[in-house]
């Protein structure tokens, strides 16, 4: 359509369809990074799934509370110009001592609703770990399930399952 035709259509009041809004990013098959230790020893498990091409990160956090393993999830979306290296530095800052001062800030942060992320098929691995101050930890293998979830115009998360290790502090030696 040329400029002259567009001008005529606008003058006679013919409405053109609005441009389609953002369809959202389809998040599937992210690259996994598991973090179970901090500088001071075992911690809640963090699972980072990076979708480099889509400039997105899914973070799952798994804790041990009594006989339960609650799982929470958050999706972070970044600007299109964000590089894979910048995403890596951002992830590092989320679980370490913040070595990198100039990391990108997410443009969208969406906490997944309760029930989207769950833990099942828990097995005690039989190993005990000792923390830096003599604390004892049990090591569990947990199967994590994530249901498909969609935030209109932002992202569409595909359902998946995965496994992760989770520590439980059981006392001191």
In eight-state DSSP terms, residue 133 is T
Work out the mean pLDDT of the chain and round it to a whole number.
84
pLDDT at residue 33, rounded to an integer: 97
Instruction: Note down the domain range covering 154.
Output: 22-168
DSSP class per residue in 17-80: PPPP----EEE-SPEEEEEEEETTEEEEEEEEEEEGGGTEEEEEEE--BTTB--EEEEEEE--T
pLDDT at residue 120, rounded to an integer: 86
Q: Provide mean pLDDT across the span 129-135.
A: 73
Residue 1 lies in a domain: no
38, 9 in Cβ contact below 8 A?
no
Residue 34 lies in a domain: yes
Q: Tell me the whole-structure pTM to 2 decimals.
A: 0.83
Residue 13 lies in a domain: no
Residue 17 lies in a domain: no
Residue 8 lies in a domain: no
pLDDT at residue 23, rounded to an integer: 66
Residue 6 lies in a domain: no
Span 62-100, pLDDT tens digits:
999 888 999 999 999 999 999 999 999 999 999 987 788
How many structural domains is the chain composed of? 1
């Amino acid at each position: 359509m040329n400029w002259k035709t567009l001008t005529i259509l606008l003058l006679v009041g013919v409405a053109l369809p609005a441009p389609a809004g953002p369809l959202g990013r389809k998040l599937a098959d992210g690259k996994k990074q598991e973090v179970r230790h901090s500088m001071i020893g075992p911690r809640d498990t963090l699972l980072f799934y990076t979708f480099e091409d889509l400039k997105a990160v899914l973070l799952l956090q798994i804790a041990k509370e009594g006989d339960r393993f609650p799982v929470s999830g958050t999706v972070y979306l970044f600007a299109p110009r964000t590089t894979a290296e910048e995403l890596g530095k951002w992830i590092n800052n989320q679980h370490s001592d913040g070595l990198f001062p100039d990391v990108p800030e997410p443009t969208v942060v969406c906490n997944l609703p309760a029930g989207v992320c769950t833990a099942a098929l828990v097995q005690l691995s039989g190993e005990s770990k000792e923390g830096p101050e003599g604390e004892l930890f049990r090591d569990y293998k947990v199967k994590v399930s994530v249901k498909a979830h969609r935030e209109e115009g932002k992202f569409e998360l595909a359902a998946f399952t995965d496994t992760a290790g989770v520590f439980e502090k059981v006392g001191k030696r």
